[in-house]
């Protein structure tokens, strides 16, 4: 629908972020940054529920995609959003790889690396990524 997929983590935001970082590292990818939107809001004397964005990828596979489709750089590296929505645990959101593939006219094989975010989430949450 909106190009995003979400799942619920039973862990809070910091614990989910840490588990995602560990899994990304175990899979040989690189965490380029973690942006803490909640902390940035607090520095501006504003309130925002815990909200963090994990930015990660594999330069080897990402670069190959960008060589064939340079405008795909708008969606790479991959990102996973983890936020507190007031319920137990956290909501974990990432881009739907099929949505991105359609937008750029990628084949199933070309879009395979775009599935990494959902695979990481599924492994960490130990549930299918369509569960939320």
SS3 113: helix
Q: What is the pLDDT of residue 2?
A: 87
pLDDT tens-digit profile of 58-68? 999 999 999 99
With a CB cutoff of 8 Å and minimum separation 6, the contacts of 17 are 34, 52, 54, 82
Average pLDDT over residues 117-125: 95
Asked if the model's pLDDT at residue 129 lies above 80, the reply is no
Q: Mean pLDDT score of the chain, rounded to an integer? A: 94
Give the DSSP H/E element, type plus range, for residue 14.
helix 13-26
Enter the tokens of residue 118: 């959902």
Q: How much of the chain exceeds pLDDT 90, in percent?
A: 93
Q: What is the pTM assigned to this prediction? A: 0.93
Question: Does 131 have pLDDT greater than 50?
Answer: no
pLDDT tens for residues 8-43? 999 999 999 999 999 999 999 999 999 999 999 999
List CB contacts of 1: < 8 A, sequence separation 6 or more.
none
Give me the percent of the chain exceeding a pLDDT of 70: 95
């Amino acid at each position: 629908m909106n190009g995003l997929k979400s799942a619920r983590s039973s862990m809070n935001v910091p614990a989910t972020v840490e588990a995602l970082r560990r899994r990304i590292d175990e899979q040989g990818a690189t965490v380029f940054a973690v942006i803490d939107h909640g902390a940035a809001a607090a520095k501006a004397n504003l309130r925002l529920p815990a909200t963090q964005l994990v930015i990660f990828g594999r330069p080897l596979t990402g670069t190959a995609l960008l060589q064939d489709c340079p405008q795909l750089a708008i969606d790479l590296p991959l990102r996973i959003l983890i936020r507190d929505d007031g319920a137990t645990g956290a909501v974990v959101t990432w881009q739907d790889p099929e949505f991105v593939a359609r937008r750029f006219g990628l084949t199933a094989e070309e879009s395979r690396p775009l599935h990494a975010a959902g695979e990481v989430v599924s492994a960490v949450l130990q549930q299918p990524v369509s569960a939320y």
